[in-house]
Every structure is written in C-alpha cells, then in structure tokens.
Amino acid sequence: MANRTATLYIRITTADGKRRYCKAAYQSKGRLKPQYAIVNGEPEHHRDGVYYVRFGADGGKQQFVLVGKDPYVALDKLEEKKRWLRDRERQVVPQTPVNSKPETSKLSMDDAVEQYYKNLHSQGKDPKTIRAYKAAVEEFRKSCAKKFLREIGRQDLIDFMGCLRKQPPKLRKDGTPRKPRRSGDPNRTYFNKVNNVVIFLSAHGINRLLKKSEYPKFAEKPVVYYEAEQVKALYAAAKNDEERFTLDYFLKSGVRDGEAAHAEYSDVKSGFLNIVDKPHLKWHPKHWHIRRIPIPQDLIAAIAERQRQNPGCKLIFPNRAGNPDEHLLRIVQRIAKRAGGTFHVDLHTFRRTYATLFSGTTKIQTIQYLLGHKDIKTTMRYLGIADLNSPETRAAVEKTFSAFKTAQIDTAPVATTAVM
C-alpha cells in the first residue's frame, strides 16, 4: 500500500561536515520555525539549511523533493504534496509517481520567457509595463548562457548587472554612437532592469536569489515641482487656447498622462472628474484605482466650452484619428522650450506640483487618494519642500533659533552671592 504521508525535512551540514536530513522544527502553536531542524530531539538553527518534502510514491518508495531555502515556499509545497496524496487515495488523479523535481526543471529559458509574455497579456498588464518587462528579460536572456530555468542562480543575476554596466553606447540610425544622457541616474535603470528580471523568475517559482544589499544602488532624486515663477513662465509661453487648456488640465487635476489621454466629457459630473475603467478603449487606471477628483469651477467651465466647440467628440484629448492622444507631453515640451527655462519638463512634475499645493491645507491620506497611490510612502515622495532660499524659509530659521536662544537664557542658573 502506498504511503499517504508528506513530511517537511531540512538538509543540514553537521559540525563534522556531513550532510544530514532532519525534520523541520515547529513552534508551540504549530507554526514553522524558519531554518530550524530537530537534531537529537532539540531544535537547532541552521542558516544554510535547505528544505525538502518527503512523501511516499506508489509502491511504498520514499521520495525527497527539493523546494529551496524559503520556509514559506516549503510550506506551500508540503500542502501541495498532501493534496496530491489525498487525491491519489481517492483516485482523482492517475496513480503514477509524481515528478520529484519542481515544475521549473522542465522549462527551457525560451519556453519560460514566451509563457511569461503570454501571461502578462492574459493578465491585462499595461502595454508600457509589458514593454519594460520584455526589454529587461530579453537583455537577461542574451547575457545568460543557461539553457534551463532551474539552472539560474544568484551569480547569473550578478553577471547580468556587470553586463548592463559594460553595455556599449547606443547607435543612431546612421551607425554613429549616441551622446550619453545628461540627466538621469544609470544605476536607477540597472536597478529597474534587475528587479524586472527578479519578477520574471519569481513568476516561475524562483525566489530570493539576491539580498536587498546586492541590488544596484542609486541616489534618490530630490522632489522636483514647479514653483510659482515657473508656472507663470509656462502660461506666458502658451500661444493658444489648446496649450493653455492642457496646462490647466494637468495642473488642476493632478492626473497621470494615460488618465488624461483616455478622459471623456462624460467623466465630469457634479464638480468631479471621475477616473474610471474604460473597457471600450481597452484601458484601465493604474492598479485599477478608480477615484473621484474634485476640480475647480474654471476648469469645469473650460471643459464644457471645449465640448461645445467639438460636438460629437467623446474624448477630451483626441488625436487626429479620433483616438486617445498619448503624446500630450509633447505639447508641454513645446511650451517649455518657448519659455526658455532650464526647469525639468514632464507630466509627473505637474502631479508633484498638484500634491505640493495641497500639502499645506489637506491631510496626506486625502492627497494619496487624489493621486491614486496604493502606498502612502509614494505620496510622501511627491511632496516638495519649500524653497530654502525664500524669505519665508529664512524668517522661519531666525524665528526658531531666536526662541531657542530665549529658552537658553530663561533656563540658565542664577548666580548667587555668598554671605559672610
């Protein structure tokens, strides 16, 4: 009769250098004690221990399935084998030995990559997100000589980082090398690409190859937002109503570029701009975060006037073909070029400006909702600080330390005269 049990073991290396399989240790309430093995009846910590699931195949033969160092993945595999054994007993599945290796051992790199791409499309990921994942995975595939997914390890990711740093400059169409970018941190690009490859590997059950300390390091950019003089310069450089309306829309709604491109007149109701799913346009908000944004009356009136001038058009920002205009940044770039300023131009800077304008009067949780952020830490990174050279900041410094000096005087010990 076949063995119906499945047990979690951990392979350790003893003090004399021998390898040994021991049962995994559990806490008093039945929870797994990570990286602890039962040695001579007592729990013993083994940082480099590797988990295996032991179970009985047909014929009573015991099999050990390697599941790696992650204790939570090990528990998942243990439950999976228990379910398989129960199903086999009820003859739900054919009574044949299960493969003793993880599913990733069957996959070649090429098959794993193609399957991953199909899954991204099936999950309805944003096209920009898919392009970013593809670019990173393709570069990794070129740098990695491993044929099967199960062969990939920590060193392959570290070698990939080296390949990214040694990349030759990109070429123009005429074959000449392009000039290096003046702005941006290449280390941030390396981090993003390595992280996208880690996500790809995780999708196939390969986890925790790198420690946090081993990822590429990069310096966080300071928050950039438009100050009053810069906004004034942009509006002064706008040469027609279309450009002024575009500036108004981004500055007073704080939306993302995709949310603006797919906005329709029907989204404006009762003083609110509604960010909603658009299946007829094959688009949805980032993280599927639908929300209502209160907008000022002058923007509501401008949108109504725009609709009156464009009867029959549903989109607020259509392109020449009547589809969503996904190149709105170009309008802002043209305005900034005429303004002659050296300030950074992108649509996210409008979102940071929007958030910063609200920061003095509105709770951070409200700003988080208005921007459509899942994590409040992201919102905090959007909030700019006051101009350190402004008279207001200087006055605040003087006032703070004036009060501090007064406090020092008040608390100083009083001198006493000795009585003879």
Instruction: Write down all domains in the chain, each with its CATH number in brackets.
Output: 6-101 (no CATH), 106-169+183-214 (1.10.150), 228-382 (1.10.443.10)
Residue 420: its pLDDT value, please? Answer: 40
Which residue has 């595999």 as its token pair? 77
Residue 59: its pLDDT value, please? Answer: 57
Query: pTM value?
Result: 0.60
Residue 95: its pLDDT value, please? Answer: 45
List pLDDT tens digits, range 325-369: 999 999 999 999 999 877 778 888 899 999 988 887 889 999 999
Residue 328: its pLDDT value, please? Answer: 94
Q: What angle is formed at CA 227 by the lines to CA 249 and CA 217, rounded to 5 degrees?
A: 95
- Structural contact between residues 136 and 170, judged by C-beta atoms closer than 8 angstroms: no
Residue 417: its pLDDT value, please? Answer: 47
Residue 390: its pLDDT value, please? Answer: 62
Sign of CA dihedral 236, 241, 242, 246: positive
Give every residue of the chain whose pLDDT is below 50, as ranges: 1-2, 93-102, 416-420
